[in-house]
Amino acid sequence: MPDRVTAAFQWFIDGLTDAGLSIVGYVRSRQVFRVVAANGNAIMTADGQRCGTLVDSDAILRLEPPGLAEHLKSAVVMIDLPARWVWRRDLQQIGKDNVSYLDAFVAHHIERISPWRADHVYYQIMTQPASEDAARLNVEVGIVAKSLVEPLVTALKPLAAELYLTSSDMTGVQPVTISVGSSSTSKRLWMRRLTIAAVAVPGVAIGVWIAGVQWVQSDADEALRDLDRQIAAKRSTVNNTRTSAAPAAADTLRTRRATQPYVVNMLEALSLALPDHAHLLDLRFEKDAIRMSGISSQASDLVSTLERSGHFLDVRYTAATTRMDDSRADRFYLEMRSVSPSRSQQ
């Protein structure tokens, strides 16, 4: 599984590298020259016009005219070879998932199918899907012996921006175009490194962002756990306080019930104690005191009547009684205290 992931990543990087080189080549279009080896090393322009020659001088090829070297420095140079100089051989099919090993596979077979070692030739690998099995590839290799083209390559490689070996007289077959380096190899290496950096930088940034998010989340989780511990401690303290305070609160309530009468009980006792000739106009409970006012035809008897009931103490007038306008009843104002339940039971 790791090998397949690595191979897939390399295939992805190679694809992006080729795309980048294609874009750069499109944006920076270069002048193309052809050197026809079968025509006395004549140098031709892209439109087929002859512009110079590579002349053999003391076993060294030199350009004629000399000023042509300046034009070749930023150009693409195609060395057009005779068909007999190019060996084409079919190799055994390979699976598409083994494409990353294709170069090593071909280099291993070159010594078996040609008279030369792999490091003594220039070669191009050509593949296409197999018609009988879409998961496999037909593999063909084009080979050119370095000894045949070394004088041309030596003369042109320092000048050309890109240098290729090709053969234009092969009809009916896929042409062979072999890169022999010059600046194209270093350019591809540079583009590959740039592509890896372009892919790696966002990956590293995403990794740092994920690590930061995880750190913040971990810190937040720790804060939440600390808050949960504080809440649990507070809750335990409150529960303990409630547990310890409950008996005291219950005792206080019982004491209050034993020493202070209920309002309902006081109202009931008051309605039983008041005679029929007394009518209340106002009734107030102020702490342990009861204040009331009303009308009675026998207001002078109310104090003794209420005290005899056994439910009220300290019954007294808070103001003088006044005769009503019809002279048949008096207005009275009384204040008293209610007897506590414990005392009334005695």
CATH number at residue 302: 3.30.1360.100
Strand (E) or helix (H) holding 28:
none
More confident site: 22 or 73: 73
10 and 100, same domain (yes or no):
yes
Q: How many domains does the chain have?
A: 2
Indicate which CATH number applies to the domain containing 127. Answer: 3.30.420
Highest mean pLDDT among 79-88, 157-166, 220-229: 220-229
168 and 73, same domain (yes or no):
yes
Return d(Cα 321, Cα 293) in angstroms, integer. Answer: 10
Contact by Cβ (8 Å): 86, 113: no
Q: Tell me if 59 is assigned to some domain.
A: yes
Q: Which of 137-151, 187-201, 320-334 has the lowest mean pLDDT?
A: 187-201
Q: Tell me if 29 is assigned to some domain.
A: yes
Q: Residue 55: give the domain boundaries.
A: 2-197
In this prediction, residue 198 carries a pLDDT of: 78
92 and 193, same domain (yes or no):
yes
Q: Tell me if 324 is assigned to some domain.
A: yes
**Structure tokens belonging to residue 182:** 């010059």
Region 266-276 average pLDDT: 86
In this prediction, residue 36 carries a pLDDT of: 85
| Residue where a domain stops, chosen among 146, 179, 197 | 197
Torsion angle in degrees (nearest 10) through CA of 320, 321, 322, 323: -150
Q: Tell me if 299 is assigned to some domain.
A: yes
Q: Which of 19-28, 36-45, 48-57, 185-194 has the lowest mean pLDDT?
A: 19-28
Q: Tell me if 101 is assigned to some domain.
A: yes
177 and 291, same domain (yes or no):
no
- Closest Cα partner for 76 from 188, 160, 196? 160
Cα torsion 275, 280, 285, 290: sign: negative
Q: Tell me if 14 is assigned to some domain.
A: yes
Q: Tell me if 106 is assigned to some domain.
A: yes
In this prediction, residue 186 carries a pLDDT of: 57
pLDDT digits (tens, 9 = 90+) for 291-300: 999 999 888 8
Identify the burial level of 182 via C-beta atoms within 10 angstroms of its C-beta, where 0-12 means exposed, 13-18 middle and 19 or more buried.
buried
300 and 157, same domain (yes or no):
no
Q: Tell me if 245 is assigned to some domain.
A: no
Asked whether the predicted pLDDT for residue 231 surpasses 90, the reply is yes
169 and 273, same domain (yes or no):
no
Asked whether the predicted pLDDT for residue 39 surpasses 60, the reply is yes
Asked whether the predicted pLDDT for residue 249 surpasses 90, the reply is no
44 and 189, same domain (yes or no):
yes
27 and 125, same domain (yes or no):
yes
| Residue where a domain stops, chosen among 197, 222, 249 | 197
In this prediction, residue 250 carries a pLDDT of: 66
Contact by Cβ (8 Å): 90, 112: no
